[in-house]
Structure 1
Amino acid sequence: MSPMHHWIRTPLTADVVRGALELEPTVRGVQPHRLPAWARAQGADAQLSMVESQPAGVRLAFRTAATVIELDAHPTRYSYVGAPARPDGVYDLVVDGRLTAQASVVGGTSVAIDMATGVPDVRPGEPGTIRFDGLEAREKDVELWLPHNETTELVELRTDATVAPLVRAGRRVWVQHGSSISHGSNATSPSATWPALAAATGGVELVNLGFGGSAMLDPFVARVIRDMPADLISVKIGINLVNADVMRLRAFGPAVHGFLDTIRDGHPETPLVVVSPIFCPIHEDTPGPGAFDMAALAEGRMQFRATGDPSERAAGKLTLRVIRDELARIVAQRSADDPHLTYLDGLELYGEADFAEVPLPDALHPDTAGHARIGARFAERVLGASDPR
């Protein structure tokens, strides 16, 4: 902490922390969560617990004339033994809608997970500080996007001028639920994930409920969406059901109906978009489960592969083509009585031709260029923005 300024400390409350569903008090400060405590108790799964605590789409949003902003935070970073090292999470400073600066916190806790046993090696650390200075001494809209891929405890926010919550009257609230692609996997920074880009282009307030490896049609997630404010809801369904091999076609259809029924209990007329999976060659016709490609890991590359047998589709195993057909059928069936329900084929966001131009680097997740393409197309098709890519 610099002694050169008369610091103003702003409480880290829901007034300035946007995109989180709960702020859990900790010994250091507050922990943003993207699921409330009751839902976390129903989904007591290590993967879900990790990813919902990673603040994808969560940002500090305020108006200030400050020239210096400091944030103390405590990251928890996860890695896999034998896998390539992951870069530290990035904080994006967006001023008046423009990405102005980026930083990463030094320190924090590291968790190395043994892929063979699932046992984590936890090494505690201390909080660190990021600092943005040289900002213009005028009133401005500031959004500080938290890293989308590392758990982040917020400790203290300091500025050299007063802070007021950022108010954007009339902006629609968009709730997006999906998998690691919605979460932001392989995007280089939090404002470069496709939901963040689509929200910026479409001028909406994002609540990102993308949970890496954990979009499983969980009933508690549907109830969370049912009970939260929303002017637009989109649910991207499919890839995790395939690569985790969690259900067959017989269970899939009723589970989708139940998920949508629950959302509709709280949002009977809110625009609701069902989005099917983007193009992913390993799972187009081959069921899961998915797995790490160990030969690629031995070469220092992160890669995924499908381990199922395509012939098992006859027994009801799910593939991405099967899921797209079933989602289109379900939405067509329901839309006769639900004019606010629509279907968006994920291939319109990222299809086979896109894969040829901007491949999925690990065979599963788009890179930053892929996220930009998906975000622009979603903004144009769903949010009414122009200039699709």
Structure 2
Amino acid sequence: MKTISIYEAPVVISGLLSKYQKGHLWKAPEEIFGKVSEWVDIMRVRSTGGRVRFRTDTKKLWIRTTLKACTPDVNFPIVGSAACDVLRGRGMEADYVGFVVPPEFGKVVGEREISLPGTMEDIAIYMPRNEEVEDIEIAIDDDAEILPPTPYTFEDPILYYGSSVTEGCTATHPSCNFVAYTARWVDANFVNFGFSGSAMGEPSMAEIIAKQKLSAFVMDYDHNAETADHLRKTHENFFKIIRAAQPDLPIIMLTKANDYWHEYELLERRDIIRQTYENAVAAGDQNVYFVDNSDVFGAVGRFACTIDMLHPNDIGYRLMSERLYPVLKEALETRYGKKITI
């Protein structure tokens, strides 16, 4: 087999805003350090949302992943927290073909050889949710070809900002949270700005997001707003900072799903977010959208949609994805005049 560098063409790394290199595969740009909060500084170096992409006709794909650490998380199996997922194909038709993960917590190297059909296809390796990645090594058959990945329909990324739920906490794989699902279904590049417990709607974070070249922005930090009053004081201001910088950017506002722990103020929070949306529409904004998740898990049996009555499991993430997808599709097609057919 022949070794292929992930840092050189024709391979493309997507979803990371850092100046990435071996040992430095960060989801957030370097400029964020010291600008928002101590917890954001800690989590900015995670590789969440990063993807290694290419096309190949190899019949065997060898992958070795090396993490900076591999630590237990009470909410996760090791595949959910530390694995790289491998998908072939594009859009809704992308197939899951395997994962690469260390054999146990405490070990940092995972290695696997994956069998493929040998036809020229797009491959995407999704980086882990929890861990910082040191390196990813790949090799293909000696007689196989490797080409650049098929461009996304929307190359400028959708940026999703929010909590551990946005980050993909408790999904069993890094490719099956609502961020990965919905971006894949509209064939868009994406950046996952989920910051577990630390998405507080700070103006400094809005200013960093406002500088990025994006196709759309999904605003989803309701879970981390400490109280409804905190959300009321920050939400519209956060939106206005980004809107002032990017007047035509599609912006989708989400409310939190109907978890048990904050049920007493769930509808109050929903109405605060809806008010930001309604104020924008009243001001003439034609690129703003609202998604109400307050009942997305239903009234009966909703405990089956989460792992801890807060963080979604795969059922919960799928339900969230199915609610967001048509709105995201409409927003992109309306703004850019492209029909999503994949």
Does TM, normalized by the shorter one, top 0.5? yes
- 1:371 maps to a residue whose letter is Y
Gaps of 5+ in 1: 111-124, 286-318
Give the counterpart letter for 1:87 in structure 2: I
Cα distance, 1:372 vs structure 2: 1.1
Render the CA deviation track for 1:297-339: whole Å, top value 9, x for unaligned: xxxxxxxxxxxxxxxxxxxxxx433221211122212222222
Give the match for residue 331 of structure 1.
277
Distance 1:11 1:182 in 2: 26
SS of corresponding position for 1:8: strand
From 150, 153, 178, the counterpart of 1:170: 153
- Report how far residue 346 of structure 1 moved: 1.9
| Alignment RMSD (CA, Å) | 2.7
Instruction: Compare CA radii of gyration and give the structure with the larger one.
Output: 1
C-alpha distance in structure 2 between counterparts of 1:230 and 1:54, whole Å: 21
- Normalised by the size of structure 2, how large is the TM-score? 0.83
Matching residue's letter, 2:96: L
Aligned-partner SS, 2:294: helix
Aligned length: 319
**What residue is the counterpart of 1:364 in the other structure?**
310
CA contact (8 A) 1:230 1:270 kept: yes
Shift of 1:107: 7.3
**Which of 146, 152, 156 is the aligned partner of 2:133?**
152
CA 158–208 in structure 1, closer or farther in 2 if over 3 Å, else same: same
The 1:169–1:324 alpha-carbon spacing in structure 2 relative to 1, beyond 3 Å, is closer
AA of the residue aligned to 1:77 = C
Task: Answer yes or no: is the 8 Å Cα contact 2:72–2:78 preserved in 1.
Answer: no
CA 1:84–1:59 in structure 2 vs 1: closer, same or farther (change >3 Å)? Answer: closer
Distance verdict in 2 for CA 1:354–1:167, change over 3 Å: farther
Contact 2:167/2:192 (CA < 8 Å) preserved in 1?
A: yes
Residue in structure 1 matched with residue 34 of structure 2 by the alignment: 41
TM-score, normalisation: structure 1 = 0.74
Measured in 1, the distance between the counterparts of 2:122 and 2:3 equals 17
| Alignment partner, residue 64 of structure 1 | 56
Q: CA deviation at 1:280?
A: 1.2
Q: Which residue of 2 aligns with 1:273?
A: 252
Where do 1:1-389 residues align within 5 Å?
5=1, 7-12=2-7, 16-25=12-21, 29-45=22-38, 47-75=39-67, 76-79=69-72, 86-88=77-79, 89-96=82-89, 97-106=94-103, 110=106, 128-160=109-141, 161-168=144-151, 170-171=153-154, 173-242=157-226, 249=229, 252-285=231-264, 319-337=265-283, 338-347=285-294, 350-353=296-299, 356=302, 358-384=304-330
Q: Structure 1 361/269 Cα, relative in aligned 2: closer, same or farther at 3 Å?
A: same
Q: 1:77 to 1:129 in 2, by over 3 A?
A: closer
Look up the equivalent residue of 1:101 and give its one-letter code.
G
Q: Cα gap change, 1:164/1:265 in structure 2, threshold over 3 Å: closer, same or farther?
A: farther
Q: Which amino acid aligns with 1:255?
A: T
How big is each residue's C-alpha offset from its partner over 1:137-185, in whole Å with a ceiling of 9 and x where there is no partner?
2211001111112222225333333433313253363221111111111
Q: Is the CA contact 2:47–2:133 (under 8 Å) kept in the aligned structure 1?
A: yes
* Partner Cα distance (1:180, 1:355) in 2: 23
Q: SS of the counterpart of 2:237?
A: helix
Q: How far apart, CA to CA, are the structure 2 residues paired with 1:107 and 1:320?
A: 38
Q: Which amino acid aligns with 2:7?
A: L
